[in-house]
């Protein structure tokens, strides 16, 4: 279940596991609905929860622990290797690992330099993934994405993407302009040849056939 959170601060939603009731708060965008109301972008919330091990299946939202239990049951029914309770806990721990306070501070400091608040996008070629890779220390891109959405802004791409799009637009414009100019040159050349042909035909007389039109 996904519910809106009303109040000040960045837009967020409350996600609750349909099996055990476990709750998590997720930064997200809101979509306008009929009647002027706004609701959390469910697809965005589910995607972010997916990086934490949550799963949405058959209309039900399950936390990482309940999802792992479900996979264990499926394995048991199919006669595959059955996950023990210890295996489930170990898998969930790996999926739900959260950054330490120090790691959060490092990510925020990196985002101060990498993210452009006014443009609402990354500077240069930076992304959530590149920031995580540059920081190292087992820092995950999902952690960067969460903190970026919570304290800085949306994933609005980066300068490199905008520069490439601008270059593509410029090339298309230059191409269209070049085609028009080339067409004009060919038409002018054809008209000049037609005039020369008309002049020759007139000078030669009926033997040259019809005058070019």
- 99 pLDDT above the threshold of 60: yes
Do residues 131 and 167 share a domain? Answer: no
Query: What pLDDT score was predicted for residue 106?
Result: 93
Residues 171 and 129 placed together within one structural domain of the fold: no
Torsions phi, psi for 62 (to 5 deg): -125, 140
Beta strands in the chain (DSSP E): 2-4, 12-16, 23-27, 30-32, 38-40, 55-57, 60-62, 115-116, 121-122
pLDDT score recorded for residue 200: 81
> At residue 60, what are phi and psi to the nearest 5 degrees?
-105, 135
Residue 4 has pLDDT above 80, yes or no: yes
Instruction: Decide which of 125 and 202 is more confident.
Output: 125
SS3 breakdown of the chain: % helix, strand, coil, rounded to 5?
Answer: 55, 15, 30
Q: Is residue 122 part of a domain?
A: yes
Residue of higher predicted confidence among 137 and 81: 137
Residue 64 lies inside a defined structural domain of this protein:
yes
Residues 34 and 7 in one domain: yes
Q: Is it the case that residue 96 has pLDDT exceeding 90?
A: no
Q: For residues 121 and 134, what is the distance between their CA atoms, to the nearest angstrom?
A: 18
Identity of the highest mean pLDDT range in 26-30, 73-77, 81-85:
26-30
Same domain membership, residue 16 and residue 85: yes
Q: What is the pLDDT of residue 69?
A: 76
Shared domain check, 75 and 49: yes
Q: Is residue 89 part of a domain?
A: yes
| Domain endpoint, select from 75, 95, 115 | 95
My answer on whether 55 and 23 are in the same domain is yes
State percent of the chain over pLDDT 70.
81
Question: Higher pLDDT residue, 174 or 212?
Answer: 174
pLDDT for the residue 116: 92
Give DSSP secondary structure letters for 160-213: HHHHHHHHHHHHHHHHHHHHHHHHHHHHHHHHHHHHHHHHHHHHH-GGG-SPP-
**Is residue 53 a part of any domain in this protein?**
yes
Provide the number of structural domains found in the chain: 3
Q: What is the mean pLDDT of residues 37-66?
A: 85
Which range of residues forms the domain containing residue 188? Answer: 159-208
* Whether residues 112 and 29 fall in one domain: no
The pLDDT score that the predictor gives to residue 77 is: 60
Which residue has better confidence, 209 or 8? 8
The arithmetic mean of pLDDT across residues 165-173, rounded, is 85
Same-domain check for residues 72 and 90: yes
> Do 120 and 81 reside in the same domain of the chain?
no
In a domain, 183, yes or no: yes
Least confident of 106-110, 132-136, 195-199: 195-199
CA distance 213 to 203: 15
Rounded to two decimals, the pTM is 0.43
Indicate if 10 and 90 belong to the same structural domain: yes
Quick one: 42 and 71 in the same domain?
yes
> Does any domain span residue 213?
no
pLDDT for position 51: 80
Instruction: Dump pLDDT digits (tens) for 113-158.
Output: 999 988 899 998 899 999 999 998 788 888 899 899 889 988 878 8
Per-residue pLDDT tens digits for 6-37: 776 678 888 888 888 888 888 888 887 766 67
């Amino acid at each position: 279940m996904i519910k809106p959170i009303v109040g000040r601060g960045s837009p967020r939603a409350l996600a609750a596991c349909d099996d055990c009731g476990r709750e998590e708060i997720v930064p997200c965008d809101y979509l306008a609905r009929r009647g002027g109301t706004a609701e959390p972008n469910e697809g965005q919330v589910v995607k972010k929860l997916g990086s934490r091990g949550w799963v949405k299946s058959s209309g039900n939202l399950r936390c990482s622990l309940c999802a792992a239990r479900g996979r264990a049951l499926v394995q048991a029914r199919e006669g595959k290797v059955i996950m023990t309770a210890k295996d489930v806990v170990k898998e969930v721990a790996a999926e739900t690992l959260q950054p330490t306070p120090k790691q959060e501070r490092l990510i925020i400091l990196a985002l101060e330099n990498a993210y452009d608040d006014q443009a609402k996008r990354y500077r240069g070629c930076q992304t959530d993934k590149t920031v995580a890779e540059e920081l190292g220390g087992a820092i995950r891109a999902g952690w960067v994405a969460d903190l970026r959405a919570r304290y800085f802004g949306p994933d609005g791409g980066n300068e490199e993407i905008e520069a490439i799009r601008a270059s593509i637009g410029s090339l298309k414009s230059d191409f269209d302009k070049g085609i028009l100019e080339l067409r004009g040159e060919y038409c002018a050349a054809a008209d000049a040849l037609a005039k020369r042909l008309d002049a020759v035909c007139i000078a030669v007389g009926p033997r040259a056939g019809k005058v070019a039109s």
